[in-house]
């Protein structure tokens, strides 16, 4: 729907300027709803419409369906995740991995429902079905490609033992994801201090990967 709106001859017609603004308001409201309630189920088309002060059908002027809306909301946050990871810099690739791992965990725990939607539910079903570019998007969004680059560099410079970079990078992803998802799913459990957990875990993992001198 959205795509058919701004086409050909119509483009230089009408448009009171409200169009883009409402789209923005919808996204903002959906995001606020997700953050406030921490419950994906609370973010229904109807609830979002009510929050914006508009009727449900008007949502469909701007988003094809609910999936597209939710995806858009999360995409924005994950761009922020990628940015947060990009921001962590160091000349040492191993140190970079450590910092980026920490940034990943912090981000996930600060935005649990976004994280849940993107990485903790089934990919197949109603979710995001026939989108072939989804996986690539997700990998970019999770900063996985950055981890992969760092791992390659660590191996090339001899900081890490020779290994398959893809396996090593996936392993590091698993570690940070494991921490985030376990804590998100069981927030009431008395976890050891999270910062300490992730630091020690990454230490052990990175140390285990290091070339022995």
Does residue 171 touch a second copy according to CB under 8 A?
yes
Judged by CB, which is closer to DNA: 126, or 190?
A: 126
Of DNA, a second copy, none, which one does residue 177 interact with (CB within 5 to 8 Å by kind)? a second copy
Residue 176 interacts with a second copy (CB under 8 A): yes or no: yes
Query: What Å distances lie between residue 192 and 108, 186, 200, CA to CA?
Result: 17, 13, 11
CA 58-61-67 angle, 5° bins: 95
Contact status: 192 vs a second copy (CB under 8 A): yes
Which of a second copy, DNA, none binds 3 (CB below 5-8 Å, type-dependent)?
none
Segment lying near a second copy (by CB under 8 A), choices 17-25, 55-63, 78-86, 166-174? 166-174
Cβ closest to a second copy, residue 62 vs residue 100: 100
Q: Which of 28, 75, 145, 181 binds a second copy (CB under 8 A)?
A: 181
Q: Minimum CB separation from a second copy for residue 198, in Å?
A: 9
């Amino acid at each position: 729907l959205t795509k058919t709106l701004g086409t050909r001859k119509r483009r230089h017609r009408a448009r009171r300027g409200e169009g883009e603004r409402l789209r923005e308001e919808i996204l903002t409201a959906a995001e606020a709803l997700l953050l406030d309630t921490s419950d994906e189920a609370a973010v229904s088309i109807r609830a979002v419409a009510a929050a914006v002060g508009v009727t449900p059908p008007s949502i469909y002027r701007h988003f094809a369906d609910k999936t597209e809306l939710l995806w858009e909301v999360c995409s924005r946050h994950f761009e922020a995740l990628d940015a947060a990871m990009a921001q962590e810099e160091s000349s040492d690739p191993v140190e970079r991995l450590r910092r980026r791992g920490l940034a990943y965990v912090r981000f996930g725990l600060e935005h649990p429902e976004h994280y849940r939607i993107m990485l903790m539910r089934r990919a197949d079903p109603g979710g995001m079905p026939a989108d072939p570019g989804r996986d690539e998007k997700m990998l970019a969004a999770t900063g996985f490609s950055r981890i992969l680059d760092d791992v390659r560099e660590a191996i090339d410079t001899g900081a890490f033992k020779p290994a398959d970079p893809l396996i090593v990078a996936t392993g590091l992803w698993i570690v940070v994801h494991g921490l985030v998802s376990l804590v998100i799913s069981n927030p009431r459990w008395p976890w050891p201090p999270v910062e300490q957990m992730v630091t020690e875990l990454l230490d052990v993992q990175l140390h285990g990967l290091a070339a022995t001198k």
